[in-house]
Amino acid sequence: MSNNKENIVRVYIVYVAMLAFGFLILFQIFKVQLIDGGELKREAKHRTVTLRKIRAPRGNIFADNNPRTTLALSVPRYNVYMDLMTVKEKLFESSLPALSDSLSKMFSYKTAREWERTLRYEREVDSNQYFKIKTRLRNADLRRLKTFPIFEKGKNRGGLIVLREMRRVKPYGMLGFRTIGYYRELEGDSSKGIKPDTLRVGLEGRYNDFLKGQDGEMLMKRIRGNEWKPLKSTLSREPIAGADLYTSIDVNIQDVAETALMTQLVKQDAAKGCVVLMEVETGYVKAIANLTKNSRDGTFFETQNLAVGAVSEPGSTFKLASLLVALEDNKIRLTDTVNMTGTYKFYDRTLHDSKIGGYGKNTIQYAFEKSSNVFAKIIDDNYRTNPQEYIDGLVDLGLRDKLGIGIIGEGEPKLKNATLKEGFSGVTLSSMAIGYEVEITPLQTLALYNAVANNGKLMKPQFVKKIARNGEVIEEFEPVVLKERIASEVNINLVKDALEGVVERGTAKNIRALGFKIAGKTGTAKIAKDGRYNTHNYQASFCGYFPADNPKYSCIVVIQGPTKNIYGAVVSGTVFKEIADKIYANGLGNFNKVEEQSNKMPYSKNGFRTELGKVMKTMGIPINDKAGDYDWVKTRTGESSVDFFVQKIQNGVMPSVVGMGLGDALYLLESKGLSVEVIGSGIVKKQSVLVGQKINKGQLVTIELVE
Cβ(241)–Cβ(59) below 8 Å: yes
CA pair distance 668, 665, nearest whole angstrom: 5
Structural domains of the chain in order of their starting residue, each with its CATH number:
50-185+196-245 (3.90.1310.10), 251-585 (3.40.710.10), 607-706 (3.30.10.20)
pLDDT at 474: 92
Amino acid at 175: L
CA pair distance 137, 686, nearest whole angstrom: 28
Look at residues 74, 248, 270, 251 and name the one whose alpha carbon lies nearest to residue 175. Answer: 251
pLDDT at 594: 34
Encode pLDDT of 570-588 as tens digits.
889 999 999 999 888 777 6
pLDDT at 536: 66
CA pair distance 566, 526, nearest whole angstrom: 10
Which segments in the chain show pLDDT lower than 70? 1-12, 14-15, 27-47, 65-68, 126-129, 186-198, 222-229, 529-536, 588-604, 609, 611, 613-620, 627-630, 637-639, 646, 681, 707
**Hey, how many other C-beta atoms are within 10 angstroms of the C-beta on 498?**
26
- E strand or H helix at 66: none
Encode pLDDT of 384-423 as tens digits.
999 999 999 999 999 999 999 978 889 999 999 988 877 8
**Hey, how many other C-beta atoms are within 10 angstroms of the C-beta on 482?**
17
Using a pLDDT cut of 70, give the percent of the chain over it: 83
Can you give the pTM of this predicted structure? 0.71
Cβ(58)–Cβ(211) below 8 Å: yes
Look at residues 148, 141, 103, 170 and name the one whose alpha carbon lies nearest to residue 673. Answer: 141
pLDDT at 186: 61
**Hey, how many other C-beta atoms are within 10 angstroms of the C-beta on 249?**
30
pLDDT at 593: 40
pLDDT at 28: 65
Cβ(238)–Cβ(216) below 8 Å: yes
* Furthest CA-CA distance within the chain: 137
The contacts of residue 627 (CB under 8 Å, 6+ apart) are 609, 633, 644, 645, 646, 647
Query: For helices 319-328 and 387-396, what crossing angle results, to 10°?
Result: 110
Cβ(168)–Cβ(55) below 8 Å: no
Look at residues 433, 571, 579, 568 and name the one whose alpha carbon lies nearest to residue 502. Answer: 568
Sequential DSSP letters for 400-419: SS----SSTTPPPPB---TT
